[in-house]
Structure 1
Amino acid sequence: MFRKTIKIKTNSQIKGSDRKIIKERLLKSFPNLTEANIDDLLPKKETVNAIKLITHTNETVHVYTIQKCPIAFEVHGKIFPTVYLLWKFPNMLPFFTTHSQVVSFLTSGADLMLPGVITPPGNKYGNLPEEAVAYVNVTDNQAAIAVGVTAQSSSDMLASGGRGKCLTVYHFFGDKLCTVEGTHNVQLANLGPPDWLKFTNEDFPELGSTKAIQEPVEPDQNDHNLQEDSQESSPQPCTTEEMDQLVTYCFFVAIKYSKTLNLPILTSNFFKLQMIPTCPDGKTLDIKKTSYKKLKPFLDAMYKEGLITIKEAKKGVESITAINRDHPKFAEFYIEPALRPKKEQDEATISTSITESFIITPTVLPLFENTQLNKGDTVQMPEIRKQVVEYVKKNDCQSEDNKRLVKPKKALVKICKTENYITWEELMEKVCEAMKSCYKVTSANTELVNKGKVSPITITVSQRSGNKKVTLVDNLELFGVQIADFAKECQHGVAASTSISRPLGKKCDQVLIQGNQVLFVHNLLTVKYKIPAKYIRGLEYAPKKK
Structure 2
Amino acid sequence: MFKKPPATLKSFSPLRSSDKRRLRDEILTSFPSLRDMEPIDDVPINAIITPDGLQSAKFTSYIEEPGTLYADAEGTPLWFKVSSSKKDSLVLPSVYMLWKFPTLIPGLTTWSPVVDKLRNGADLMIPGVITANNMEVPDLEEGALVVIRARGNKYPLAIGTMAVSGQVIAASRGRMPPKGKAVHIFHIHLDQLWAMGSKLEFPADWAEGHNVSVDEDEYETDEEDGADEELAENMKNISINVSKGKARAKDEPETELDHELADSQAGDQQTEQEQQHEPAIVLSTEEVDKSLQEALLQVLKFKVTENVSKELLPMNASTLYSSYVLPNRARGRAADADIKKSSWKKLAKWLKAVEKQDLIKCKEIKGDLFLLSVNWNHPELKAFRGHRTVEQQAARQAKVEARSSQANSDVKVLEVMEAYRPNSISAILFESTGRSKDGYYTLQELRALLIEYCKEKQLADPKNQRIIRLDGVLQEALAKGGEQVDRVPKDQISDRLINNMVVHHFIGYQGEQPRFVKGGVKPIQITQEIRTGRKTVTKVSGLEHFMIDVDAFGHEIQVLCAGSVAITPLVGASPKLKLREVMVQGPQVKNVNAVLQEKGVPKKYIDFLDKTSKKK
TM-score if structure 2 supplies the norm length?
0.39
TM-score if structure 1 supplies the norm length?
0.44
Q: Which has the higher contact order (CA 8 A, sep 6+)?
A: 2
